[in-house]
Amino acid sequence: MDNTADELLDWYDGHRRSLPWRVTDGEWPDPYRVWLSEVMLQQTTTAAVAPYFAKFTARWPTVEALAAAPEEDVMAAWAGLGYYSRARNLVHCARAVAAMGGFPASEAELRRLPGLGAYTAAAVAAIAFGQRAVVIDANVERVVARLFAIDEPLPGARKAIRAAADAITPDHRAGDFAQAMMDLGATICTARDAKCMLCPLSSRCEGRASGDPLRLPVKAAKKAKPRRRGTAFWIEREGAVWLVTRPGRGMLGGMRALPDDGWSARGDGADDPPLPGMWQAAGVVRHSFTHFDLELGVAAYAGEGMDGLTGGEWWPLDRLDEAGLPTLFAKAGMLVLARG
């Protein structure tokens, strides 16, 4: 595999994607922007992340600014990106980095920061600090599996994929190499297509030589997701809706939301409504989480007495989009408001 890195870097110099968090030639990446983008990009597309990244960096342009932000403001700004534990870890990590006086440069030290797993630490070390690190996301995993024809099913194949990626990772231009691998997987060697005629590594690719690169990486059969059911409660008065803040730990922790009946990943909801009396069915919304699917009925309060409400706040309906509701509860709100 001699010269693999050089050939890929030559391709990258002419084909790199223009992304909001990337610098132009001659500039050195800001560790804060690299870290922020990598956290946002976990299990999320670049198209979805771009507007959030712009909003975050405009509002909190430095890690110190983010560290000083109230956690509820960050959670609200994150709403819609999903995987909300990332937002909580974002604040904790920013505060740790600000207390240290800046990001550490080594992969090992980065791993000690709150919420930084192996991938993010390697990516920040390589891209922001030029350290040699083996950076493997889903795109890189696919490229390497095809390049070396690693046909052991995932997740068992990850040890061999990492070893193969390590073998071709260069000491020079480590950050560019990591981003080149990501770009190759995102634009050429994609999950649904293998544009081998355009690939700078096609002559070296064992998957292409096998005649069927799309079969790689081999994925284990997906298990059927369990379906959970729950109810969200819509309580409205004088142009405002009652919102609560979910507990800091657990599903959608720390986010503003409609009150609900206690549904979770482990089971259906069974808690009583927040008020006794008349409730009217307003429809059903469906949402898919990583480990389960949720069917959420929405019930609108049709009674009169609201004195028993505690632990929440009245939020103006004409500013509901500013509440930072998670996508699930935003769907529920739109359902009710569409009914008039």
Q: Are residues 195 and 260 in the same domain?
A: no
Q: Are residues 136 and 242 in the same domain?
A: no
Among the options 7, 38, 206, 295, which is catalytic?
A: 38
Residue 182 domain-assigned (yes or no): yes
Question: Rounded to the nearest 10 degrees, what angle do helices 138-147 and 174-187 cross at?
Answer: 80
Q: What share of the chain is helix, strand, coil (3-state, %, to 5)?
A: 45, 15, 40
pLDDT of residue 290: 87
Report residue 338: phi and psi, to 5°.
Answer: -70, -25
What's the Rg (C-alpha) of the chain? 23
Calculate mean pLDDT across residues 38-51: 93
Task: Read off the pLDDT of each residue in 280-304 and give the average, rounded to a whole number.
Answer: 94
Phi-psi region of 231 (alpha: psi -120 to 50; beta: other; left: phi over 0): beta
Domain containing residue 86: CATH number: 1.10.340.30
- Burial class from Cβ neighbours inside 10 Å (0-12, 13-18, 19+) for residue 276 reads exposed
Whether the predicted model's global pTM rises above the 0.85 cut: no
Residue 243, token pair as written in the block: 């919102």
Of the candidates 182, 209, 208, the residue with the CA atom closest to the CA atom of residue 193:
208
Q: What is the pLDDT of residue 1?
A: 44
Same domain, 133 and 264: no
Looking at the structure, do residues 31 and 124 belong to the same domain, yes or no? yes
For 133-189, write each residue's pLDDT tens digit: 999 999 999 999 999 999 999 999 999 999 999 999 999 999 999 999 999 999 999
List pLDDT tens digits, range 132-147: 999 999 999 999 999 9
pLDDT in tens, 89-104: 999 999 999 999 999 9
Residue bearing the bigger pLDDT, 308 or 139: 139
Tens digits of residue pLDDT in 118-130: 999 999 999 999 9
CATH label of the domain that carries residue 301: 3.90.79.10
Give the per-residue pLDDT at 223. 86
CB count in 10 Å sphere of residue 112: 11
Q: Pick from 215, 249, 266: which residue ends a domain? A: 215
**CB burial readout 134-153, b (16+ within 10 A) else e:** bbbbebbbbbbbbbbbbeee
- Would residue 259 count as lying in a domain? yes
Residue 221: inside a domain, yes or no? no
Residue 142 lies in a domain: yes
**Residue 15 pLDDT > 80:** yes
In a domain, 211, yes or no: yes
The residue from 215, 248, 267 where one domain ends is 215
Q: How many domains would you assign to the chain?
A: 2
For 281, other C-beta atoms within 10 Å of its C-beta total 10
- Within this chain, do residues 209 and 259 fall inside the same structural domain, yes or no? no
29 with 145, same domain: the answer is yes
Kindly state whether residues 146 and 8 are assigned to the same domain: yes
Q: Which domain holds residue 44?
A: 4-215
- pLDDT category at 84 given cuts 50, 70, 90 is confident
**Can you tell me the distance from the alpha carbon of 206 to that of 147, in angstroms, rounded to the nearest whole number?**
5
> Are 70 and 171 within one domain?
yes
In terms of domains, do 36 and 101 share one?
Answer: yes
Same domain, 63 and 196: yes
Residue 258's pLDDT band (cuts 50, 70, 90): very high
Res 24 pLDDT > 80: no
Residues 177 and 263 in one domain: no
Mean pLDDT confidence for 295-321 = 92
Same domain, 245 and 211: no
Residue 155 lies in a domain: yes
Above 80 in pLDDT, residue 2?
A: no
Give the residue from 192, 215, 238 where a domain finishes: 215
Q: For this structure, is 38 an active site residue? A: yes
